[in-house]
């Protein structure tokens, strides 16, 4: 799967551009209202979502496995962001606690054990009173059920791309012990697909 993303990042850049996801706008507003300053983005990509937090006065640290994505980010943003290169399954990359953590899309690409580890590791790096926002694709998506069946609600859409589709019940199961306060329906115009936002707060 890593090789697939490496080969397709140039296409994804042209496809998504640098407009942030709608989930990012929602998370940015939440972070601004609550005065958050230090933000971690696992699955940083090439920075299209990170820029919105930066523009709102936040310091952003990213984690990204793709060297190609990091090169694109550096070409566009210079050294404005600290980016750790590596897999989110190897978190943590530092011992810092963050005010906010935002993860768009990434979780649904992982198998169950890796999703659990990612969520747990993110929560451990969240300051008390901080917010963690995950945006994941819903079973209401038009792509749900397409491709090769792998397990309940998980399909290989095409070679190398395995997606777990979330229901609200699944969101509660995976995030319930990590300060889940709300599940929000979110339509993403770029992909034209429905997502679910898991909003968590650490007490």
Can the peptide bond before residue 92 be classed as cis, meaning omega within 30 degrees of 0? yes
CATH number of the domain residue 29 falls in: 3.40.50.150
Strand, helix or coil for residue 195: strand
Sort 96 into a burial class: Cβ within 10 Å, 0-12 / 13-18 / 19+: exposed
Instruction: Tell me how many domains the chain contains.
Output: 1
Token readout for 28 is 């940015």
Cα four-point dihedral sign 13, 15, 19, 23: negative
Which residues constitute the domain of residue 168?
2-201
- What pLDDT, in 10s, does the model give residues 60-81? 999 999 999 999 999 999 999 9
The pTM of this model reads 0.90
- Residue-level pLDDT at 19: 85
Distances (CA, A) of 33 to 124, 131, 163: 23, 11, 32
- What pLDDT, in 10s, does the model give residues 102-129? 999 999 999 999 999 999 999 999 999 9
């Amino acid at each position: 799967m890593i090789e697939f993303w490496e080969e397709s990042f140039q296409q994804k850049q042209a496809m998504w551009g640098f407009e942030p996801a709608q989930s990012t706008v929602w998370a940015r507003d939440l972070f601004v209202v609550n005065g958050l300053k230090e933000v971690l983005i696992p699955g940083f990509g090439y920075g299209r979502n990170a820029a919105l937090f930066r523009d709102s006065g936040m310091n952003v640290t990213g984690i990204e496995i793709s060297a190609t994505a990091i090169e694109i980010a550096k070409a566009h943003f210079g050294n404005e962001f600290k980016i750790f290169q590596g897999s989110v399954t190897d978190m943590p990359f530092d011992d810092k606690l963050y005010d906010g953590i935002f993860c768009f899309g990434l979780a649904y690409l992982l198998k169950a054990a890796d999703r659990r580890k990612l969520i747990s590791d993110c929560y451990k790096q969240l300051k008390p009173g901080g917010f963690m926002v995950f945006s994941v694709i819903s079973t209401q998506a038009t792509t749900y059920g397409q491709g090769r069946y792998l397990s309940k609600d998980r399909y290989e859409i095409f070679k190398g791309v395995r997606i777990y589709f979330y229901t609200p019940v699944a969101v509660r199961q995976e995030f319930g012990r990590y300060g889940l306060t709300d599940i929000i329906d979110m339509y993403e115009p770029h992909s034209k697909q429905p997502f679910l936002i898991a909003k968590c707060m650490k007490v």
